[in-house]
Amino acid sequence: MPDNPLKKNAGNKIRAMSFLEYFKSRNFDIHFVSEYSWGEWNNEDIRQFEKSNLVDTVSVLKRKASKRNLIYYLFCHKLLNFFYQKKWGVLPFGFPDLVTYKLKKAFDHLLKQHNYDYIFINYASWSTLIEKNPLIGNAKTILDTHDFLTAQNQRKYPIGKSFQEEIRRLSLFDHVLAISIEEQYIFSQFCKTAVKLAPMMIEQPPVSTIPLPERKFDLLYVASKNPHNVEAANWFMTQVYPFLRKSIKICVIGQITEFIKGDQPNITTVPFAEDLTTYYHQAKVAICPMLSGTGTKIKVVEALSYHLPVVCNTRGIDGLINKTNNGCLVADLPEAFKDHILNLLDDTENYTEQSLYAKFTYESGYEQESCYKKLDQLF
């Protein structure tokens, strides 16, 4: 996993954390392997991760050589890696390949030192770590796809070539896990490996005992600052927010706060919150503006686990097993988005109905222990 799951400031990190918690609950001996530059690790991050008791061993590898010796960097890293990533051919894959020659050698060194029962990789971009690699021995290889990367990178690579390469990479593994029902369907049509649905696993949180009228925030918006969220936040702030009553109190949490411009007296911004429970307990409705992107929106599932109704765009329900009566009110037009918000805040009967739908959606598809039992069949 290239990122640090302890940071919890993006959905992919929360996803990785959920699997680490599962492995720990089943008493696995876990060797966590990550990468310095992509994950923006530093020595203090590594020390904190080692103290977390989530894993038994931590290895953070380097995929790039130091630039201190420029000649070595250019000829022994940059040039060598140029040919390595193209597999000594002329044309690139048309698909993001993040494994460098240096990283592959470091990963192989770990494989020589240890025998593993399972090798669990996040994202197809790192699949060449195990491709045609005799050092994996008898280990079962498992890929957690996270996202449909062809769709994520459609502006960078030709779609046909990219999709073909993505399916080829998925087929390298013994097992493939998809977070969303749509991605499971697409991948399973073409992939040689069986693709299993592994939805987001969330522990049942304590439900708020604060009466609805006494809650501090009308709307809760939690998001990282990936490009999809930045675009969506701008859409909400320019197309929806100006037409909401100024008495509506909004709490915005996460890196997305960097893009909430201006001094808005009814908006509270929280750049980072270690524990979101207090904020969910103080909120009435969650919003998830999302105009693009793939995969399950983890913050939608998280809000549903607190029985909060969610107002979102169509992309907000991507990955949900049920597309209707799921606790989400969907609108792509700004006026309809605004109307859903006002309706939930003003109509107690509708609010109660959507809250019950949210509760059922979470309990039927995303409750932690029931998801664990399904994973037990794989591990």
Same domain? For 228 and 315 the reply is yes
The answer to whether the beta carbons of residues 207 and 307 sit under 8 Å apart is yes
Contact assessment for residue 269 and residue 252, using Cβ atoms and an 8 Å cutoff = yes
Summarize the confidence of residues 346-364 as an average pLDDT: 97
Of 98, 95, 89, 36, which Cα lies nearest the Cα of 66? 36
Tell me: do 242 and 129 sit in the same domain. Answer: no
DSSP 119: E
39: phi then psi, degrees, rounded to nearest 5: -85, -5
pLDDT score recorded for residue 247: 97
Rounded to the nearest 5°, which phi and psi values hold at 270? Answer: -130, 100
Please answer whether residues 159 and 150 qualify as being in contact, where contact means their C-beta atoms are separated by less than 8 angstroms: yes
- pLDDT tens per residue, range 99-110: 888 899 999 999
Domain match, 174 and 289 both: no
Residue 184, domain member (yes or no): yes
Q: How far apart are CA 160 and CA 154, in angstroms?
A: 10
Q: What is the pTM of this model?
A: 0.81
| Domain-embedded: residue 206 | no
**What's the CA gap between 122 and 34, in Å, rounded?**
10
Asked whether residue 378 is assigned to any structural domain, the reply reads no
Say how far apart CA 166 and CA 124 lie, in whole Å.
7
96 and 56 assigned to the same domain? yes
188 and 225 co-located in one domain = no
| Amino acid at site 278 | T
pLDDT over 70 at 347, yes or no: yes
Residue 307: what pLDDT? 97
Domain count of the fold of the chain: 2
Q: Tell the burial category of 260 from Cβ atoms under 10 Å away from its Cβ (0-12, 13-18, 19+).
A: middle
Residue 373 lies in a domain: no
CB under 8 Å to 221, separation ≥6 — which residues?
233, 236, 250, 251, 252, 253, 256, 286, 287, 288, 289
Domain boundary among 168, 197, 226: 197
**Chain center to CA of 67:** 32
Give the number of other CB atoms < 10 A from CB of residue 109. Answer: 13
Statement to judge: residues 192 and 300 lie in one domain:
no
- Tens-digit pLDDT profile for residues 111-128: 999 999 999 999 998 999
Strand pairing category for 283-288 and 250-253: unpaired
Mean pLDDT, to the nearest integer, of 158-168? 88
- For residue 314, what are the domain limits? 212-365
The verdict on residue 39 lying in a domain is: yes
Is there a contact between 181 and 200 (Cβ–Cβ < 8 Å)? no
Instruction: Specify whether 297 is located in the same domain as 331.
Output: yes
Task: Give the pLDDT of residue 160.
Answer: 87
Residue 209 pLDDT > 90, yes or no? yes
Residue with tokens 């530093």: 42
Residue 170: which CATH number? 3.40.50.2000
How many whole angstroms separate alpha carbon 118 and alpha carbon 283? 41
Q: Which residue has the higher pLDDT, 330 or 155?
A: 330
pLDDT (0 to 100) of residue 90: 44
Is 271 inside any structural domain?
yes
Tokens read off for 143? 């890929």
Token readout for 213 is 């009228």
268 CA to centre of own chain:
25
DSSP code string of 312-378: E-GGGGTT-S-SSSSSEEE-SSHHHHHHHHHHHHH-HHHHHHHHHHHHHHHHHHTBHHHHHHHHHTT
Give backbone dihedrals phi and psi of 356, rounded to 5 degrees, phi first.
Answer: -70, -40
15 vs 70 pLDDT, higher one: 15
Q: What is the pLDDT of residues 289-334, one digit of tens each?
A: 999 877 788 899 999 999 999 999 999 999 898 899 999 999 999 9
**Token digits of residue 200:** 């987001």
Which of 173, 197, 221 is a domain's end point?
197
Residue 51 in this model has a pLDDT that exceeds 70: yes
